[in-house]
Amino acid sequence: FRYKDSLAEDMRRADLVISHAGAGSCLETLEKGKPLVVVTNEKLMDNHQLELAKRLHRGGHVLYCNCSTLVETLQSMDLSTLKPFPPGHPEKFALFLDKVVGFQ
């Protein structure tokens, strides 16, 4: 599909998610505990997607590749090596922000 209002149901049913390396897409997938293969776009300027993919890969949370190596990655992947992504703590950030802004 080209566009869908929500991918929540698709992600819930998925055994594997293949995504671009946008931060929102990666974090949403990892928060749902789904294995993730990130396909980076090498044509992006300053390639922040590659930086994110490499960092998440170093942490053991995702596999990453580019379009030309996707098939090879899918054929050789071992999803059992992936580690769960730790949950976030937005309340800690909110408290920090309150202190910085002077609300506390």
| pLDDT beyond 80 at 38 | yes
Number of domains in the chain: 1
Write out pLDDT tens, residues 1-24: 788 888 889 999 999 999 998 888
In the chain, DSSP finds a helix count (H) and a strand count (E) of: 5, 3
14 within domain boundaries = yes
Q: Find the domain containing 81 and state its range.
A: 7-99
Q: What pTM was computed for the model?
A: 0.80
pLDDT tens track for 52-88: 999 999 999 999 999 999 999 999 999 999 999 998 8
Q: Which residues of 62-98 are buried (b: 16+ CB within 10 A; e: fewer)?
A: bbbbeeeeeeebeeeeeeeebeebeeeeeeeeeeeee
Residue 76 maps to which CATH number? 3.40.50.2000
